[in-house]
Structure 1
Amino acid sequence: MDTHSHAAVVGAGPVGCLTALSLAARGFTVSIYERRPDPRHHQIGSGSRDNASAPRSINLAISARGLKALSSVNVETDRNMADVVLSHAVPMRARMIHTKDEGQGVKQMSQAYGLNGECINSVSRTLLNDLLLDQASAHPAVSLHFNCKLRSVDLQAREKDPQAEGECHLNFESWEGSGPASRYSALVVGCDGINSIVRSTIARLTPVNFQQEYIDSSYLELRIPPKIEDGAATFALDPNHLHIWPRHSFMLIALANLDKSFTSTLFAPQAIIGRLTSRGAILEFFANEFPDALKLMGDEDVVATLLPRQGKGSPLSSVKCYPYHYKGRAVFLGDAAHAMLPFYGQGLNCGFEDVGFLTNLIDKHGVRGDPGQSVGSGKSVQGEKEENAWDRYSPLLAQAFTEYSKERHPDLIAISYLATQNYHEMSSRVVSPLYLIRKSLDGLLMKTLPKGWWISLYSMVTFSPEIGYAEAKKREARQSVIIERVLVASGLAAMTGLGLAGRWLLKNRRDLW
């Protein structure tokens, strides 16, 4: 295999597949290496594209940032990946808050996401991954290799051996189900998740700041099946809402699937989940906290799902690190760079945005995978040997990667912070009077002020990909200060008015009384 224009993508998840398709569109030949079997042929449980609601993963909420990145990859003359994904997604235009009211049962309150019908889109992670794998499989410049467990990556192969077949040498503990193997590549992109081997390899060659933080809460997966009416399946809840049962220190959520079911997830501290170890404890907990959801799920299904877990939820953690690259040879994206808590629905959207951010910089520096293309200076390399062409490209790629680390880092730190904060909003603040007042004020100001002068934080993060996460966080801080000053001024004005009224009443009390 010619390695001078070859890119190795480690990880066949959604971010890895989009990375491969984006690099292939820029003339690279790309190999995707995945340690697990092909998920299209080895689905876990019932999580296939025919039943995308299997309770094995938190559903994804695709929004503007992710769709923008997907739309850059064309799959047909008149369709791109964003069109394909949206055709398999359920739009959600609002939150539906399910609150307990003592003596009155459960109340529901709808909270729109945007002023103009903007929506986020619920899609099964399994189904989304399948769709991207299908497109990667169909691309002539992309090859997929499953059951390839990566053991190590040597990013200095050419420095150690000038006769090496590529800049980077990947060593596999197992290769497509057989024994050890190795492959060479000019470029390695790590899309290999929170325990990234590519990231740890880079950290051995250059200083990488790294922090992984777990929160006390973990999660358990559940399912609300379709409701059968007159022999036909229908949704048991409004499908165009993201349903939330906020209970302050814990919550339940549910997102719709195309098969009329809902993927539901319980987020709670281990002190609560740890008690769900018997049939009685499980049913008592759900009957007390989520009686309407329990009725829709069914006692037996809830017990059958949770009892085998014996009070053990899946952990939740976030990753922060810097930088994200090594020279012009390796870079890591997605969860490998910024695994975050799922409470803003931005983990995958951010990962997809990583791909677009990086490939825009690659384009800026004129790097192409195929020989004979113009380089950053605009000069032609027609007729130049491939290895010489790549020698010219590699420094340009190093510049692109350096810019990526420097420019992307503030946004990744900002969204990690916002995702953590949004857990408190979803589990508690969505029903607080102050939150509802602020939400109403944001809506009023967005309607009355000129367009773009005032945008709510949620709209900036979810529906405004032109605004970086870091800028959204800064703008929200400024807007909060303005709101606080207005409220303080209003309060002072009210107090002053009351004081003057009191003085006037005291002065004129004899006339009045």
Structure 2
Amino acid sequence: MSSKPSLTLIGGGLVGALLAQQLARRGFAVDVFEKRPDPRTAGFAGGRSINLALAERGLQALRSAGLAEDVLRHAVMMRGRMVHTTDGRSGLQRYGVDDSEVIWSVSRGGLNMLLLDAAEAAGVRFHFGQGLVGVDFDAGRMRVADLDGIERELDAPVIIGADGAGSALRAAMNAHRPLGERTEWLGHGYKELEIPPAARLPPALLRDGGGRDQFAIEPNALHIWPRGGYMCIALPNTEGSFTVTLFLPAQGPYPSFATLPDARTAETFFKDDFADLLPLLPGFAGDYDAHPVGTLATLYLERWHLGGRALLVGDAAHAIVPFHGQGMNCGFEDTVVLAGLLDGNDPAEAFAEFQRIRQPNANAIARMALENYVEMRDSVADPRYLAKRELGARLAGAVPDHFMARYRMVTFTHLPYAYALERGRAQDVLLEQLLRDSPDAASVDLDAAIATLKATLPPLPPLRHG
């Protein structure tokens, strides 16, 4: 008989399914309660972004679960940002040094179903259509309700919440003992649109004049139309379409979602601000009027656990805005850390150590995600930003053990998020200093810059790549 405790997970989404699979592989008996029906039989319910950016931290978690190759077979590589300016020009800003440093566009629904299959194969028991109603933490019991509202009570001595930003377990924990919850609303919202596969568009609109390529625009990039204060982005899907997301202020003067309430007003706005994108959106009117405006917020908690009885992971503990593409990756990294801590340790000790390790890093990526929104919508076309980017690339090429762009640290290594935040700030101060007398990165004396860098900052820690 195993001496490991039985574990109850709330939430069968991406983080919940991956965590359950990793725990089951380590010998834990795991039950997962998910309020929605099984998406493999009922169909995947929308309401959130249909594709996500998978980076090294998430890939490493999938490797540890033996699933990375299966996931990448259904992903589209993105080499960098394809920036579309107001005059119709575009140019690629690479994320990394070469094709060894790329991110991947993956389907949320497809990935979730793959993870559910893997968890079940590992022995996880799923209970779909079972939403959490309440928890008696002292008694180690919980109440769930099915889709008809019929409730039942079950043993749940150790319960883990992976049920997202609107976590029912977090609400129950907070009612039992306040968690120090704070939500910062961004004040901007989003709406999803679609560029269809090339076959559904007039050949004159296509990048290759209507050849055999299934994609209307460059597939191996994350496309950005930065407009200062707002933007559109587009991520590729394997079948040839792109999911386009418009980010705008929710309220306030034009343009905002409040001043663009319907497709008629929004189409005029797109003709002025996204003239090259609008012709690629034949379903614009229907999509704009049918799709809701999503909200964006950052969640902060002082406490993630109640002793060894309950713990929050992923978005339930630290939901962030999506502008660094790290929400899923951070949640997946959570699962690796937590599974390792629970293996052979008392839950109370494991939960406390999990919060100690992960909370500073969750706070750091939350800050960087907010900063990256400003970078994506404002800075990618700014000459000062481009000069710092160019000089940083020169330094990274010359002394890679001393300089790495913050984006690369976050996206392509396993360095702690908190380290990447602080090192990135220090490096930015240095770049500003080096470019103080000239806005031209090519005019900076590289040898002198390297000497200043080495005198100012210590070498980078040993880098861990996948």
- Change beyond 3 A, Cα 1:266–1:4: same
Tell me, yes or no, if structure 1 residue 189 matches structure 2 residue 160. yes
Partner of 1:39: 39
TM-aligned CA deviation for residue 197 of structure 1? 2.2
Q: 1:98 aligns with which of 84, 102, 116?
A: 84
What pairs with 1:202-217 in structure 2 (closer than 5 Å)?
A: 202-217=173-188
Q: Choose which of 397, 418, 423 in structure 1 pairs with 2:373.
A: 423
Which deviates the most, 226-235 or 198-207?
226-235
**Alpha-carbon separation, structure 1, partners of 2:11 and 2:243:** 25
Q: Deviations over 1:2-59 (max 9, x none)?
A: 99731111001000001101111121111110111112222357x7xxxxxxx85252
Q: Aligned to 1:343, what secondary structure does the other structure show?
A: coil
Structure 1 unmatched ranges of 5 or more: 48-54, 74-79, 158-167, 368-395, 492-513
Task: Show the 5 A alignment for 1:437-452.
Answer: 437-449=387-399, 451-452=400-401
Aligned counterpart in structure 2 of residue 454 of structure 1, from 395, 403, 408:
403
Aligned partner letter, 2:421: K
1:457: how far off? Answer: 0.5
Partner of 2:109: 126
Decide whether aligned partners of structure 1 residues 206 and 3 sit closer, same or farther in structure 2, where only a CA change above 3 A counts. farther
Partner of residue 63, structure 1: 55
Work out which of the residue numbers 206, 209, 218 in structure 1 matches 2:189: 218
2:425 matches 1:469: no
TM-superposition CA deviations, 1:372-418 (whole Å, max 9, x none): xxxxxxxxxxxxxxxxxxxxxxxx22111111112211111111011
Question: How many aligned residue pairs are there?
Answer: 424
Report if aligned partners of 2:263, 2:284 keep a CA contact under 8 Å in 1: no
**Cα distance change, pair 483–4 in 1 and its aligned pair in 2 (3 A):** closer
Q: CA deviation at 1:490?
A: 6.9
Please point out which of 274, 278, 290 is paired with 2:274: 290
Q: Which amino acid aligns with 1:318?
A: T
Whether the 8 Å CA contact 2:44–2:109 is kept in 1: the answer is: no
Cα 1:433–1:205 change in 2 (3 A) is same
Query: Given the alignment, which residue of 165, 179, 201 partners 2:172?
Result: 201
SS of equivalent residue, structure 1 residue 116: coil
Segments of 5+ residues of structure 2 without an aligned counterpart are 204-209, 440-466
Structure 1 CA distance, aligned partners of 2:386 and 2:28?
Answer: 50
**Deviation, structure 1 residue 62:** 0.3
**Map of 2:240 onto structure 1:** 260
2:110 maps to a residue whose letter is L
- Distance across 1 between alignment mates of 2:261 and 2:393: 44
Q: Aligned residues: percent identity?
A: 40
Name the counterpart of 2:358: 408
Distance 2:386 2:436 in 1: 18
Per-residue deviation, residues 127-156 of structure 1 (Å, max 9, x unmatched): 1111111112222x2111111021011221
**TM-score when scaled to structure 1?**
0.79
Aligned pairs for 1:99-498 within 5 A? 99-101=85-87, 106-117=88-99, 118-139=101-122, 141-157=123-139, 168-174=140-146, 177=148, 179-228=150-199, 234-271=214-251, 272-298=256-282, 301-308=283-290, 313-363=293-343, 366-367=344-345, 396-449=346-399, 451-465=400-414, 467-488=415-436
Contact kept, 8 Å, 2:6 with 2:158, in 1: the verdict is yes
Which residue number in structure 2 is paired with residue 5 of structure 1? 5
CA RMSD of aligned residues (A): 2.1
The one-letter code sitting in structure 1 at the alignment partner of 2:57 is R
Which moves more between the two structures, 200-209 or 266-275? 200-209
The structural deviation recorded for 1:192 is: 0.9
Cα distance in structure 2, aligned partners of 1:278 and 1:267: 15
Question: Which is worse superposed, 207-216 or 58-67?
Answer: 207-216
Matched, 1:29 2:29: yes
Distance 1:40 1:125 in 2: 13
1:89 and 2:75 equivalent? yes
Q: Normalising by the residue count of structure 2, what TM-score does the alignment of the two structures yield?
A: 0.86
Name the aligned partner's letter for residue 25 of structure 1: R
Q: CA 1:283/1:406 → structure 2, altered by over 3 Å: closer, same or farther? A: same
TM-aligned CA deviation for residue 231 of structure 1 = 9.8
Task: Note closer, same or farther for the CA distance 1:297–1:489 as it changes in structure 2 (3 Å cut).
Answer: closer
Measured in 1, the distance between the counterparts of 2:4 and 2:402 equals 49
In the alignment, the residues of structure 1 paired with residue 128 and residue 351 of structure 2 have an alpha-carbon distance, to the nearest angstrom, of 27
